[in-house]
Structure 1
Amino acid sequence: MFVKIDKKTHEETIISSTDMTLVLERDIKDNQVDDTLTEMVISGYEHKDKTAIYRYKK
């Protein structure tokens, strides 16, 4: 499952893999989305934008 953590409130919200994909498609190049999702699941990579931190949570 993917989690969105609000930077101001630190509130965690569970998001779907579809929603996570949409965030990545908005923020990075399309050809890097699959690799980034894999890195999030395997190595714990966290994606950050202006308002939130996104991570994979087992």
Structure 2
Amino acid sequence: MLFSYLEYIGDDYEADQEKMAAHLKTQEWWRETGPCQEPLEGEPEGTLWAEMEEIYYLA
């Protein structure tokens, strides 16, 4: 299992996500890594990501 952390710094998350999705190298990366992802058991159909509660914060 892979756990990831995202900290967004910006003003328009949706617009920034659209820019990222339009980026050709990002699209290439998603094509390569997409087949490696499997849905979590118990999550709704089509869900690849699930939010987790932060338990520890180490600075």
Provide the TM-score with structure 2 as the length reference: 0.28
Task: Name the structure where helix makes up a greater proportion of residues.
Answer: 1
Q: Which protein shows a greater Rg? A: 2
Task: Name the structure where strand makes up a greater proportion of residues.
Answer: 1
* Bigger RCO of structures 1 and 2 (CA < 8 A, at least 6 apart): 1
Provide the TM-score with structure 1 as the length reference: 0.28
